[in-house]
């Protein structure tokens, strides 16, 4: 992939500093076990963030991605009740997520509804379906394979107990590698950048912009389905409020990672660093018994700084 830019180096330094601070403040924080456990705090959100990074680079956004996760988890529960096995349950999640993404893509590309408006509507639709279907109930009793995917370590599965890397984190790294290669090393990735930077020029250059947009919305839905499989397995149930508010956390990760909200700029490396940075921050604050509202305030502040600081640095560079 391309050489790291200045913002990515800043994120890496911040991550090292953050690890050092929590390591000094919390006994055992820097142990292999604790660091491995911290990845459970952000792996599923990170999957959503990677899909959103591609969409935002392309100049679009999907505010319904966490609600698509909830709908996919609901499909898992219904398919299990219908007698489906593990493969059928997983297929139900992926198909539901893909169809949710396809509906978003259709609204944006065929009916030309701005993506922020279309996905606000589908956010309410998908989340509402999950809430109405479940009420105050939950669905549990999934096959053990889902608990393994959501809670197991890779080393345990392959007979190397010292390799304490959660399966969820491996899935995150693999998706980051795949999306990074797609965005930074393929012609299609360069076209995604071109569409986000100037959609009119991209269209006149012969790039099928709507086809790319539709495909990225479907990919976001499929990623939500994958995250639903892992999250449902980790917590052991489908709940009406599953992944509530995660779309904002995922967008924060993307913007903090240096992806321009207006599209056309950004990288998967920066997004992955931001995912880990926010994940470690919230995990460390949780260990320090910091309240959830304070965490939300700090993450909101990070989002504002991430949007304002690059503009200030760019303006300063332009005047010198």
Residue 44 falls inside a structural domain: yes
Over the chain (320 residues), the average pLDDT of each successive run of 10 is 72 93 91 93 97 98 98 98 98 98 98 97 97 94 96 91 93 98 97 96 94 98 98 96 93 93 94 96 91 85 78 67
CA distance 250 to 44: 10
Look at residue 217 in the predicted model and tell me its pLDDT.
Answer: 98
Look at residue 319 in the predicted model and tell me its pLDDT.
Answer: 65
Q: Provide the residue range defining the domain that includes 174.
A: 6-308
What are 144's two structure tokens? 């053990």
Look at residue 1 in the predicted model and tell me its pLDDT.
Answer: 44
Residue 139 falls inside a structural domain: yes
Torsion over CA of 147, 172, 227 and 36, rounded to 10 degrees?
40
Closest CA to 280 of 19, 5, 83: 19
pTM score, two decimals?
Answer: 0.95
Residue 102 falls inside a structural domain: yes
Residue 22 falls inside a structural domain: yes
Look at residue 308 in the predicted model and tell me its pLDDT.
Answer: 80
Alpha helices in 61-114 (DSSP H): 65-81, 86-109
Residue 313 falls inside a structural domain: no
Helices (H) and strands (E) in the chain, counts: 15, 2
Question: Residue 136 CA to chain centroid, in angstroms?
Answer: 26
Alpha-carbon distance values, 35 to 10, 176, 265, 274, 289 (Å): 21, 19, 31, 16, 17
The H or E element spanning position 219 is helix 209-235
| Dihedral pair phi/psi, residue 245, rounded to 5° | 80, 0
Look at residue 215 in the predicted model and tell me its pLDDT.
Answer: 98
CATH number of the CATH domain containing 247 = 1.10.3470
Residue 252 falls inside a structural domain: yes
Residue 319 falls inside a structural domain: no
Find where tokens 């269209």 sit: 203
What are 151's two structure tokens? 């809670």
Look at residue 5 in the predicted model and tell me its pLDDT.
Answer: 78
Contact 229, 24 (CB under 8 A): no
Query: Residues in the chain, how many?
Result: 320
Look at residue 263 in the predicted model and tell me its pLDDT.
Answer: 94
Residue 316 falls inside a structural domain: no
- Number of compact structural domains in the chain: 1
């Amino acid at each position: 992939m391309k050489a790291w830019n200045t913002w990515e180096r800043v994120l890496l330094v911040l991550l090292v500093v953050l690890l050092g601070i929590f390591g000094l403040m919390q006994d055992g924080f820097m142990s292999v076990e604790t660091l491995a456990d911290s990845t459970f705090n952000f792996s599923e959100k990170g999957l959503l963030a990677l899909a959103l990074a591609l969409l935002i680079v392309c100049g679009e956004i999907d505010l319904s991605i966490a609600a698509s996760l909830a709908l996919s988890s609901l499909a898992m529960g219904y398919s299990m009740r219908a007698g489906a096995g593990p493969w059928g349950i997983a297929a139900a999640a992926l198909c539901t997520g893909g169809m949710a993404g396809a509906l978003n893509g259709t609204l944006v590309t065929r009916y030309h509804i701005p993506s922020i408006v279309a996905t606000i509507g589908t956010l309410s639709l998908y989340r509402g379906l999950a809430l109405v279907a479940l009420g105050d109930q939950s669905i549990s009793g999934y096959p053990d394979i889902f608990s393994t995917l959501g809670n197991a370590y890779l080393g345990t599965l392959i007979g190397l107990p010292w390799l304490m890397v959660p399966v969820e984190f491996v899935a995150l790294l693999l998706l980051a590698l795949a999306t990074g290669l797609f965005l930074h090393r393929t012609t299609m990735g360069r076209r995604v950048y071109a569409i986000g930077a100037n959609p009119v020029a991209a269209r006149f250059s012969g790039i099928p912009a709507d086809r790319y947009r539709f495909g990225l919305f479907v990919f976001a839905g499929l990623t939500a389905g994958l995250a639903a499989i892992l999250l449902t397995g980790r917590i052991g149930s489908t709940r009406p409020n599953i992944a509530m508010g995660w779309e904002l956390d995922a967008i924060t990760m993307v913007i903090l990672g240096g992806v321009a909200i207006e599209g056309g700029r950004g990288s998967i490396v920066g997004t992955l660093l931001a995912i880990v940075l926010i994940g470690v921050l919230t995990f460390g604050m949780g260990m320090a018994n910091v309240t959830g509202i304070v965490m939300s305030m700090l993450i909101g502040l990070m989002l504002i700084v991430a949007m304002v600081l690059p503009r200030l640095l760019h303006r300063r560079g332009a005047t010198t």
